Amino acid sequence: MQQPEIVNRVANSELITIDLARFYSDIEVVPWDIKAFLFMELVLREKDYRLAVQQQNWHAFQDKYVAMFCSTDAIVPTWAYMLALTYLQGVASRVIWGTVATATEQLVLEKIQAMNTEEYKDKRIVVKGCGELAIPTSLFIGLTEKLLPVCKSLSYGEPCSTVPIFKRKS
| pLDDT of res. 8 | 39
Q: How many CB atoms lie within 10 A of CB 163?
A: 10
| pLDDT of res. 11 | 44
Q: Is 74 exposed, middle or buried (0-12, 13-18, 19+ CB in 10 A)?
A: middle
| Cα(111)–Cα(86) distance, integer angstroms | 26
| pLDDT of res. 130 | 82
Give pLDDT tens digits along the chain (170 positions): 677 654 434 444 589 999 999 999 899 999 999 999 999 988 999 999 999 999 999 999 999 999 999 999 999 999 999 999 999 999 999 999 999 999 999 999 999 999 999 999 999 999 998 888 899 999 999 999 999 999 999 999 988 888 999 999 87
pTM score of the predicted model = 0.84
